[in-house]
Chain A
Amino acid sequence: MNDIIAAEWAKIRSLRSTYYLLGTALLAIIAAPVLSFLITSSWDQSSLADKAHFPGADASVAVMPFVLCALAAFGGIVITGEYGSGMMRTSLVAAPQRRAVLLGKTVVVAATSFVLGQVVSFGITVIELPIIGNRPAPINPWPHGLASAAMPAFATGLLVTVGGLIALGIGAVIRSTAGMLVSMITLLLILPSIAGFLPNPWDIRVAAVLPLNLATALANSTATISSPLSPLGAGLLMIGYVVLALGAGSLVFSKRDA
């Protein structure tokens, strides 16, 4: 098993697409604080009445979906890239235990997307904290500093891992890079906006269980009006998505002809 993980590691390290995707995701560490800085400067010059209506100055809400998509693309391409190039057959001749191969890919994608998700998420938070300073709520989303910022940062980073693993599972089922990307963008970005068109209360209920909104629900200490899910419920749903996608992927990957 260690040899298979090492081989999968060697595979992702030897492709330029890995560096492009992870590199662009890392740009978010700079992009989000820049946005945050722009919001706080605008806040400083606003009237007292306007200040009360400012959104929180944490730009990761806007930037992390991009990181999520980049890592989902990475996770999916780990398997669809092999089908696209024909490498899959060559790979499976060298390592014919299919479940072990998919497990190896899962380990590599999980580790990479966990490290990258957490580095980006915490990186943004750590840089944004001094930018926002001790401005009051609502522009300051973290009135208690890092103590109140840590859990949201962890949850947002964890969602990146969840996205990468869902994409790996979907990639194993669909086998095509284009199909995998469309499915992932639909699941991560399109469905949440479609949910918004549903009649109340289904708009909130459906939106709450979609992957994109699970990070907020996981970080909240209690269920809120915007997310009726408890942190435990959100955590279980994250696991559920990953198990479902990888379970389906494993079934198809081990049964179907390569």
Chain B
Amino acid sequence: MIEVNELSKRYRDTLAVDRLSFVVKPGLVTGFLGPNGAGKSTTMRAILGLDAPTSGEALVDSRHYATIARPLHQVGALLDANAAHGGRTAFQHLYCLARANRIGRTRVDAVLGLVGLSSVGGKRINGFSLGMKQRLGVAGALLGDPGILLFDEPVNGLDPEGIHWIRGLLRSLAGEGRTVLVSSHLMSEMALTADHILIVGKGRLIKESSMTDLADQFRRDVLVRTPARDEFARILAAAGARVQVEVGGGLAVTGLGQSRISELALHNGILVHELAARSASLEDAYLQITDASVTYRAAGLGNATSTTKTEITR
């Protein structure tokens, strides 16, 4: 269990994290989602005792991380795949971390096997691709077989096979009852792995929701515009659809597909001006939620929400 209470972190004149509070529960993959610069990495560093909070606190298993004697047995973390000395071999790198936690060489070999790096254990990290370094970072997180795991953008640099592997790994770690916190700036990635979502922007918690609730909330419907609005609304309702009148006078129809609606219009002699399927994908939902809190935005591209229509299938 990870508890973050009213956590704030200020770097000179930037407030990176602003009174952030949340709890990460065991047995679930919790997605920590937000645009670049939203404060995700800072929060993770505060949880791991690397950065001291300006105010508030972050606890793991009700303790401050820095007070845990051999922390890798309780918490494993992958923060930055490049945070390793390139001159060491993969084995040596892991052994240095393991030794401080009284973890033996056999376990180092075992985690190298778990992440598929057994064959390059004796190779220097300098020669590793970003994907291999991510796997090495995951191996480091798994060293002490911890109950709590934090991964900061673990899919960065992984090839499709690697991405598939890490999704499965995250699911199975949570399935074993562990607490798993994964950060990402991509909703599409979270949609495939997370059970629970924390969305942050400008250091604040914008939304906390289960993945299914979030998907339901940004529902898919069909927009119908017709001069015979009330009459067609009754017909659609009789056919089993849920119909709502929108502000602009259009009908928001759920429960019936575009083709069935157009058939009903034809059979009942209703004139239809517009018939459009609307899919608020999770990506759209995310963009809508975070739009006000984007820290770095390319100039002149306008509102990203109105231009993005990528549909994400879960």
Contacts and interface: CB of A to CB of B under 8 A. Distances in A.
A19 to B, nearest CB: 11
B64 to A, nearest CB: 9
Interface in A208-258: 255, 257-258
B101 interface: yes
Interface in B39-62: 45, 48-52
A79 to B, nearest CB: 12
Contacts of B48: 92-93, 96
Interface in A1-43: 3-4, 6-7, 10-11, 14-17
B66 A15 contact: no
B85 A85 contact: yes
B187 to A, nearest CB: 27
Given A3-B102, A10-B99, A86-B80, A92 B49 contact: yes
A97 interface: yes
Contacts of A81: 85
Nearest to A87: B85
B12 to A, nearest CB: 12
A10 B85 CA distance: 13
Given A86-B83, A86-B84, A90-B79, A14 B92 contact: yes
A252 to B, nearest CB: 13
A86 B50 CA distance: 12
Contacts of A3: 70, 99-102
A186 interface: no
B140 A90 contact: yes
B87 interface: yes
Contact of B88 (A14, A97, A98): A14
A76 to B, nearest CB: 15
A89 B80 contact: yes
Contacts of A97: 66, 69
Nearest to A98: B66
Contact of B50 (A6, A87, A93, A255): A93
A95 B72 CA distance: 8
A215 to B, nearest CB: 33
B250 interface: no
B79 A89 contact: yes
Contacts of B88: 14-15
A14 B83 contact: no
Interface in A53-99: 81-82, 85-98
B89 interface: yes
A91 B79 contact: no
Interface of A: 3-4, 6-7, 10-11, 14-17, 81-82, 85-98, 255, 257-258
